[in-house]
Chains A and B, each alone.
Chain A
Amino acid sequence: MPDRPLLSRRTSLALPGLVALGATAACDVDDLRPPQDDPTPSAAASASPTGAPGGDTAVVEEVVAALDAVLAQLLAARSVPAQRAAVVPLLRAHRRHVEALDATSRATPSPTPVSVEQVRAQELALRGSLVDSAGRAESGALARLLASMAASVDQHLAVLPTGGAR
């Protein structure tokens, strides 16, 4: 089915350069780079033939809510000086994630202290949610964006210190 405009001015603007569907013609290492003259976002997203109308709006709302919940935890974790350096990169990344979905975070710091290990657990749960949402997204463009966010979480978790104190 033809893809509706995803949801987001930002995301729509983002898409033309993201798709890689063309044939790989050259024969060098540059072949690793996806073709840049690919179809429009709607063409890319049309590969997703299933999904209830309006389904992506719900998906985005769920993701924004999940990001907000994690941001609240991160804000609390950041208030502990010893944890600040560890959690700030995640905080920045998730703020950009919310922005990419054309939403505004309303997160305020959780009232209870949050350890780095609790952050890790929250991030793992968020990662699972992002992967699930990417799988459910009707729009291929949204799926790609959510998959990238999940990969971002994986990268940040890979460098997150272990055994952080409260």
Chain B
Amino acid sequence: MSGSGTEVDALQTTLAAEHAAVWLYGLLGARTSQSAEAGLYTAVRAAYDAHRERRDALTGDIASLGASPVGSAPAYTPPAGLDTAAGRASAALVVERSCAETYAALVGSTTGERRTRAVGMLADAAVRELSFGGEPEAFPGLPSDSLS
């Protein structure tokens, strides 16, 4: 499957977001009790697995286009407030909302099967937001001020 420069750029941006998401969910998982915070742990674990799988798929897709997939950053700055379960859920919600925005941008920058996949990624992130305290919205993945 061929891809335009715009598509490759958008895929690279999405891959960079996945690297960050995988890193953050790894951190959240390490700080969340599997027994005392079972619900949050399960949600974090599921998100970690989903983003890791997506990261690997994007890496392969970008490589198949002849581009060099971006790597993870050497370090990331953890968000504040991870000492409490509420803070960790909030951080996860921020990640999913940010990923949803990235996926929505990918939808607009791709065509065909890649767009179809991006639509699915956006839907997944939107529903995952609910696991971390998010509420249904009219326009998940679009900035709140974009349709005012």
Contacts and interface: CB of A to CB of B under 8 A. Distances in A.
Given A11-B147, A47-B6, 13 more contacts: A18-B143, A20-B10, A23-B9, A29-B94, A31-B17, A32-B95, A34-B105, A93-B138, A147-B118, A151-B127, A152-B139, A154-B123, A154-B127
- The dominant DSSP class at the B interface is helix
B138 A47 contact: no
B40 interface: no
Interface of A: 10-11, 14-15, 17-24, 27-35, 38, 44-50, 89, 92-93, 96-97, 100, 131, 134-135, 140-141, 143-145, 147-152, 154-156, 158-159
Interface string B44-68: 0000000000000000000000000
A140 B109 CA distance: 6
A23 B12 contact: yes
A136 to B, nearest CB: 10
Contacts, number: 190
Which of A11, A24, A150 has the most B CB atoms < 10 Å from its CB?
Answer: A24
Contact of B6 (A18, A21, A31, A147): A21
Contacts of A150: 119, 122-123
A45 B146 contact: no
27 contacts: A11-B147, A18-B108, A18-B146, A21-B10, A24-B12, A28-B75, A30-B77, A31-B17, A31-B19, A31-B20, A31-B73, A33-B102, A38-B105, A47-B109, A49-B4, A93-B138, A135-B115, A144-B105, A145-B139, A147-B104, A147-B118, A147-B141, A149-B138, A149-B139, A155-B130, A155-B134, A159-B130
